């Protein structure tokens, strides 16, 4: 047997160096007895490590990552287990750590999990008490050899404080500049109380809801072994004992009559909107009134949308563009044509030389219709019923703006305007009449251009769309 | 009023907000000055006997409120004692607790006093003083008031890690009836505005060359919905939830089973829902977002728009779709394995990795401590082929023996 003495209980570099030497010398795991320096090495563990025979052994990166954690476990078998894993990985089982069903892998991963949990609980359950001269001292009892590895967490968090964490095995001290590891301590070495603990206990008692006791869930996450070092835990038995009485008292009181002096509004800065005259002849006022009406619409699509999106642009614009419906971005922003299709439309408008002062933009349907799927909203085409619901709004909007020509973008807009399901391919480029006798110039919706798969057809169709816009602009010159 | 008494009143008033999360924000620490750190993972510093995590100092600035929401203990017409922290008291309390490692930070909310802007300004003050005067690097979650001005919202987002507005109830009608001063459209618009700012700040962090956009709530926004205070069924709850996730990019929608409050309003139902309903809704929500289930598939496992309380929604779905089973653990693709009751995402990925090296037997599953009783009727392994998949009493075989009877909320009479 070959005895290997390690200087500390969680000294990963020392273990790694020893393991490398053993591996290079082809020493099988059964021939190694691992122990800590100062402990007896076992009766026959006096052979030296033989001369190296192999070089250039590689292991997947996941192994040292796992080993570095497992070595902090208190199980005395950890050094040997890690060496056995290393041996198997370097002897025809390179992918061993991926075999989650292997008993030794399960064991090592279980140990790593226990160590990580212990560290996480340490971050959570260390309780500092203020000692003289503004020093903060905590007594903590971890299950595994984690103190040194976890000092970094406390250092990053409390770099400006001076603190000590005492455990039975070792202690860590930060003086604001330097971290020093020291010997283990006793509970009595930490202050016995802290002035703020009373407030913390009061908080703990008040934040808990007595009407939903789940003590098993509490104990699963905050095991009883930690309670003796948690100031708030001493109140748990009392809180649990009192809970049923508190709930019974609530029930007995039942619904209470409203307080005689209700909390009042002390001052208000809520603006009261001015009443608007719906029958006014002034188009700006009429449009504002129509807008208010659309925003207040509670039709079937309103329930799921953020808000209605009304048209934008100057009254008297020569061209009025009608799109399909607001999309995801329009729904959030509350403005038409701000999403991807809107941006493409604006670019085309500029390239066609149509001044903004002559373009009013709106949609046939005023709410976003979509299907929520997981993390995104999927656009859904409005149906005949949706179109019909918003048509009265659209007709009045066109009437008030009073354009010389309406440009319909896509099938929905064309249908909303003409009342008929016309195919765009048939009427594209010619002027048709809306139900109200307004001239309508049909073209495609810019989102159609976005959906085209290949760049060539995209370019060709964009040019054609641009041609349509220019044609519409010529119509109104 | 004594500070301790204020803390008792204002913590008691805050406990109906379920969230206490402190995760998902940017990494930062105090090595360059100040105090505190956030490292991505949330930390629960204690657990209360109600099983809930205590991560943050969760309090109201004041429980005085001009709104009269029936489900809320702080409503204008409630008889609870009222209190109000000063900004300084809250700042000191947060720092005193933080230094002793009691908390990850602060979750601050408030009743509406005077006006939405006045209230929001006080909340923002606390966050600003913590960040700017004390270099506080811990976690801050601020409750946002829907009608507060855009400038205040921008400042709140600059200091806070997370912002939230509670949607309160699953359906608009219920909100109108129970919270007359709240307006669902306004809440949604405010969530939309927050989404835009969060996305903007995220984009700016990615594009390094440009001047950085102001920091805005790096841990995103969340919301809470009370379950069982109105008549909405589970389908309506999950539909609204899916809409909220999809529309506003929420990090979390919290469900809070309506719980009896002291000084209850007559408008509320006398019976609280069983706590397990909240649990089933969370499970269903998970299946929707991470397991590729559709709402219709999930609801097919229940009856009349409600989930089955006795078994989890994936098992309920599987029992009604036995034709899709058994699934071969050694051959089935990932998305089929994710639909097997008792197999979670992590386990599926471990099994996929393991089966590349050797074929999986039933004892392997036992070694991984998986629930074999639930799993094996639906799964083919190297040495097992279920024969019970079409048995009429399969439900009784696979349902947990205790049911999920345990955490049942105490009943009002």
To the nearest whole angstrom, how far is the Cα of B410 from the nearest Cα of chain A?
Answer: 6
Which residues of chain A are within 8 Å of residue B184 when distances are taken between CB atoms?
A: none
Return the residue of B nearest to A238 by Cα: B49
Residues A174-183 pLDDT 10s:
999 999 999 9
Contact call for B360 and A263, based on CB within 8 A: no
Return the residue of B nearest to A223 by Cα: B47
To the nearest whole angstrom, how far is the Cα of A364 from the nearest Cα of chain B?
Answer: 21
Using a CB–CB cutoff of 8 Å, tell me whether A306 touches chain B: yes
* β-strands B327-328, B252-257 pairing: unpaired
pLDDT at A267: 42
Residues B122-158 pLDDT 10s:
999 999 999 999 999 999 999 999 889 989 999 999 9
Residues A1-23 pLDDT 10s:
899 999 999 999 999 999 999 99
In a domain, A257, yes or no: no
Domain boundary residue, one of A78, A95, A118: A118
Contact call for B289 and A218, based on CB within 8 A: no
To the nearest whole angstrom, how far is the Cα of A453 from the nearest Cα of chain B?
Answer: 26
A460-470: burial string, b at 16+ Cβ within 10 Å, e else: eebeebeebbe
Number of structural domains in chain A: 4
Examine the pLDDT at B360 and tell me if it is beyond 80.
yes
Using a CB–CB cutoff of 8 Å, tell me whether A315 touches chain B: no
In a domain, A261, yes or no: no
Contact call for B357 and A218, based on CB within 8 A: no
In a domain, A256, yes or no: no
Across the A/B interface, how many CB contacts are shorter than 8 Å?
Answer: 273
Domain boundary residue, one of A72, A88, A118: A118
* Backbone φ and ψ of B53, nearest 5°: -75, 140
Count of residues making up chain A = 477
Domain boundary residue, one of A101, A118, A135: A118
Q: Which of B8, B78, B353 sits opposite A202 (nearest CB)?
A: B8
Examine the pLDDT at B407 and tell me if it is beyond 60.
no
**What is the rounded average pLDDT for all residues in chain A?**
91
The residue segments making up the domain with residue A404 are 283-475
Q: Which two tokens stand for residue A283?
A: 């188009």
Would you say A217 and A208 are in contact if contact means Cβ atoms under 8 Å apart? no
Using a CB–CB cutoff of 8 Å, tell me whether A212 touches chain B: yes
Q: Are residues A420 and A335 in the same domain?
A: yes
Using a CB–CB cutoff of 8 Å, tell me whether A261 touches chain B: no
The alpha helices in B129-233, defined as continuous H runs, are 134, 150-159, 172-178, 184-206
**Residue from A332, A338, A371, A380 whose CB has the most chain B CBs within 10 Å, to mutate:** A332
Examine the pLDDT at A158 and tell me if it is beyond 90.
yes
Q: Which of B7, B16, B257 sits opposite A199 (nearest CB)?
A: B7
Q: Are residues A302 and A445 in the same domain?
A: yes
Which CATH number does B3-273 carry?
A: 3.20.20.70
* β-strands A179-183, B379-380 pairing: unpaired
DSSP state of A95: T
**Residue from A88, A139, A206, A272 whose CB has the most chain B CBs within 10 Å, to mutate:** A206
B319-335: burial string, b at 16+ Cβ within 10 Å, e else: beeeeebbbebeebeee
The contacts of residue A263 (CB under 8 Å, 6+ apart) are: B64, B65, B66, B76, B77, B82, B111
Residues A163-174 pLDDT 10s:
999 999 999 999
pLDDT at A42: 67
Domain locations in chain B as residue ranges? 3-273, 297-398
Mean pLDDT to the nearest integer, A198-202? 97
Which residues of chain A are within 8 Å of residue B66 when distances are taken between CB atoms?
A: 263-265
Q: Could you count the other beta carbons within 10 Å of the beta carbon of residue A451?
A: 10
Q: Which of B8, B52, B360 sits opposite A206 (nearest CB)?
A: B8
Q: Which of A159, A266, A307 sits opposite B30 (nearest CB)?
A: A159
Band the pLDDT of A440: cuts 50, 70, 90: very high
Which residues of chain A are within 8 Å of residue B190 when distances are taken between CB atoms?
A: none
* H/E run at residue A472: helix A455-475
Contact call for A196 and B96, based on CB within 8 A: yes
In a domain, A272, yes or no: no
Q: Are residues A435 and A404 in the same domain?
A: yes
pLDDT at A271: 45
Q: Which two tokens stand for residue A302?
A: 């309103």
Q: Which of A160, A199, A232 sits opposite B46 (nearest CB)?
A: A232
**Alpha-carbon distances, residue A298 vs A291, A366, B240 (angstroms):** 14, 11, 17
**What is the rounded average pLDDT for all residues in chain B?**
90
Return the residue of A nearest to B354 by Cα: A99
Band the pLDDT of B406: cuts 50, 70, 90: very low
In a domain, A267, yes or no: no
pLDDT at B411: 41
- CA–CA separation, A74 vs A54, rounded Å? 32
Band the pLDDT of B387: cuts 50, 70, 90: confident
Q: Are residues A185 and A208 in the same domain?
A: no
Band the pLDDT of B280: cuts 50, 70, 90: very high
pLDDT at B402: 54
* Look-up of token digits 């009406």: A293
Q: Could you count the other beta carbons within 10 Å of the beta carbon of residue B83?
A: 20
In a domain, A179, yes or no: yes
Would you say B113 and B66 are in contact if contact means Cβ atoms under 8 Å apart? yes
Band the pLDDT of A380: cuts 50, 70, 90: very high
To the nearest whole angstrom, how far is the Cα of A331 from the nearest Cα of chain B?
Answer: 8
If one compares A251 and A414, the residue with the highest pLDDT of the two is: A414
Return the percentage of chain B with pLDDT > 90, whole number: 68
Classify residue B305 as left (phi > 0), alpha (psi -120 to 50) or beta.
Answer: left
- CA–CA separation, A147 vs A259, rounded Å? 55
Return the residue of A nearest to B8 by Cα: A206
Alpha-carbon dihedral B127, B131, B132, B135, rounded to 10 degrees: 150
N-terminal to C-terminal alpha carbon distance within chain A: 101
To the nearest whole angstrom, how far is the Cα of A476 from the nearest Cα of chain B?
Answer: 38
Q: Are residues A452 and A374 in the same domain?
A: yes
Most confident of A107-116, A254-263, B198-207: A107-116
pLDDT at B410: 44
Q: Which of A99, A155, A377 sits opposite B247 (nearest CB)?
A: A377
Contact call for A95 and B48, based on CB within 8 A: no
Most confident of A188-192, A278-282, B288-292: A188-192
Q: Are residues A179 and A68 in the same domain?
A: no
Contact call for A101 and B360, based on CB within 8 A: yes
Residues B289-314 pLDDT 10s:
899 898 999 999 889 999 999 999 99
DSSP state of B121: H
Return the percentage of chain B with pLDDT > 70, whole number: 94
Which residues of chain A are within 8 Å of residue B117 when distances are taken between CB atoms?
A: 269
Q: Which of A198, A247, A264 sits opposite B4 (nearest CB)?
A: A198
Residues B18-58 pLDDT 10s:
888 999 899 999 999 999 999 988 999 999 999 999 999 99
Residues A63-113 pLDDT 10s:
999 999 999 999 999 999 999 999 999 999 999 999 999 999 999 999 999
pLDDT at B269: 77
Would you say B242 and B236 are in contact if contact means Cβ atoms under 8 Å apart? no
């Amino acid at each position: 047997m070959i005895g290997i003495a390690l200087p500390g209980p969680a000294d990963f570099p020392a273990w790694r160096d020893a393991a490398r030497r053993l591996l290079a010398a082809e020493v099988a795991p059964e021939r190694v007895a691992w122990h800590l320096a100062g402990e007896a090495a076992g009766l026959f563990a006096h052979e030296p490590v033989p001369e190296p025979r192999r070089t250039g052994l590689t292991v997947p990166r996941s192994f040292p990552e796992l080993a570095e954690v497992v070595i902090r476990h208190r199980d005395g078998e950890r050094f040997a287990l890690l060496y056995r894993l290393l041996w198997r990985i370097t002897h025809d089982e390179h992918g061993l750590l991926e075999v989650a069903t292997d008993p030794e892998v399960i064991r090592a991963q279980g140990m790593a999990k226990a160590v990580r949990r212990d560290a996480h609980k340490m971050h959570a359950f260390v309780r500092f008490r203020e000692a003289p001269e503004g020093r903060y001292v905590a007594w903590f009892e971890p299950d595994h050899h984690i103190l040194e590895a976890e000092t970094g967490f406390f250092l990053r968090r409390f770099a400006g404080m001076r603190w000590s964490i005492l455990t039975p095995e070792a202690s860590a001290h930060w003086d604001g500049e330097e971290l020093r590891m020291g010997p283990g301590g006793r509970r009595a070495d930490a202050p016995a109380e802290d002035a703020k603990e009373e407030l913390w206990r009061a908080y703990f008692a008040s934040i808990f809801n007595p009407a939903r006791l789940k003590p098993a869930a509490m104990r699963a996450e905050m095991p009883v072994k930690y309670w003796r070092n948690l100031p708030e835990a001493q109140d748990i038995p009392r809180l649990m004992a009192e809970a049923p009485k508190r709930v019974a008292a609530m029930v007995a009181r039942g619904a209470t009559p409203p307080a005689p002096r209700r909390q009042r509004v002390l001052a208000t800065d809520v603006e009261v909107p001015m009443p608007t005259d719906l029958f006014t002849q002034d188009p700006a006022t009429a449009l504002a009134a129509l807008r208010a009406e659309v925003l207040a619409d509670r039709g079937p699509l309103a329930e799921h949308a953020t808000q209605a999106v009304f048209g934008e642009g100057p009254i008297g614009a020569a061209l009025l563009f009608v799109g399909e419906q607001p999309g995801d971005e329009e729904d959030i922003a509350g403005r038409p044509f701000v999403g991807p299709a809107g941006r493409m439309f604006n670019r085309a408008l500029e390239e066609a030389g149509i001044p903004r002062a002559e373009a009013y933009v709106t949609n046939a349907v005023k709410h976003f219709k979509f299907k929520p799927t997981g993390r995104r909203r999927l656009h859904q085409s409005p149906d005949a019923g949706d179109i019909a619901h918003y048509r009265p709004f659209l007709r009045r909007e066109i009437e008030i703006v009073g354009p010389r020509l309406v440009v319909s973008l896509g099938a929905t807009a064309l249908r909303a305007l003409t009342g008929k399901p016309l195919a765009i391919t048939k009427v594209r480029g010619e002027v048709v009449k809306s139900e109200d006798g307004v001239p309508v110039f049909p073209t495609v919706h810019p989102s159609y251009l976005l959906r085209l798969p290949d760049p060539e057809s995209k370019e060709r169709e964009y040019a054609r769309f641009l041609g349509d816009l220019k044609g519409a602009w010529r119509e109104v010159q | 009023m004594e500070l301790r008494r204020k803390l008792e009143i204002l913590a008691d008033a805050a406990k109906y907000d379920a969230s206490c999360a402190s995760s998902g924000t940017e990494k930062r620490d105090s090595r360059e000055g100040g105090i505190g750190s956030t490292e991505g993972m949330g930390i629960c510093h204690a657990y209360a006997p109600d099983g809930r995590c205590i991560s943050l100092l969760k309090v109201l600035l004041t429980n005085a409120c001009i709104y009269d929401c029936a489900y809320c203990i702080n409503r204008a017409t409630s008889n609870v004692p009222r209190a109000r922290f000063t900004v300084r008291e809250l700042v000191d309390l947060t720092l005193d607790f933080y230094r002793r490692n009691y908390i990850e930070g602060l979750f601050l909310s408030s009743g509406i006093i005077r006006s939405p802007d006045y209230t929001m300004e006080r909340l923002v003050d606390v966050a600003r003083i913590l960040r700017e005067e004390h270099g506080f690097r811990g976690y801050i979650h601020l409750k946002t008031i829907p009608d507060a001005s855009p400038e205040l919202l921008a400042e709140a987002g600059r200091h806070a890690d997370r912002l939230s507005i509670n949607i309160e109830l699953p359906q608009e009608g219920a909100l109108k009836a129970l919270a007359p001063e709240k307006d669902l459209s306004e809440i949604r618009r405010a969530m939309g505005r927050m989404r835009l700012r969060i996305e903007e700040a995220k984009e700016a962090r990615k594009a390094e060359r440009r001047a950085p956009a102001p920091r805005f709530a790096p841990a995103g926004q969340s919301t809470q919905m009370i379950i069982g205070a109105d008549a909405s069924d589970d389908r309506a709850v999950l539909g609204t939830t899916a809409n909220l996730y999809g529309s506003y990019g929420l990090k979390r929608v919290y469900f809070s089973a309506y719980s009896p409050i002291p000084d209850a309003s007559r408008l509320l139902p006398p019976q609280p829902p069983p706590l397990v309903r909240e649990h089933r809704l969370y499970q269903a929500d998970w299946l929707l977002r991470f397991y590729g289930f559709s709402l219709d598939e999930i609801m097919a496992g229940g009856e009349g728009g409600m989930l089955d309380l006795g078994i989890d929604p994936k098992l309920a779905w599987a029992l009604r779709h036995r034709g899709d089973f058994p699934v071969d653990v050694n051959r089935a693709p990932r998305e089929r394995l994710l639909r097997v009751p008792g197999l979670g995402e992590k386990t599926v990925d471990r099994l996929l990795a393991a089966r590349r090296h050797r074929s999986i037997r039933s004892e392997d599953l036992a070694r991984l401590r998986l629930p074999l009783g639930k799993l094996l009727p639906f799964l083919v392994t190297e040495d097992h082929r279920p024969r019970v998949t079409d048995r009429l009493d399969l439900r009784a075989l696979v349902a947990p023996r205790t049911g999920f009877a345990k955490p049942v909320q105490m009943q009002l009479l």
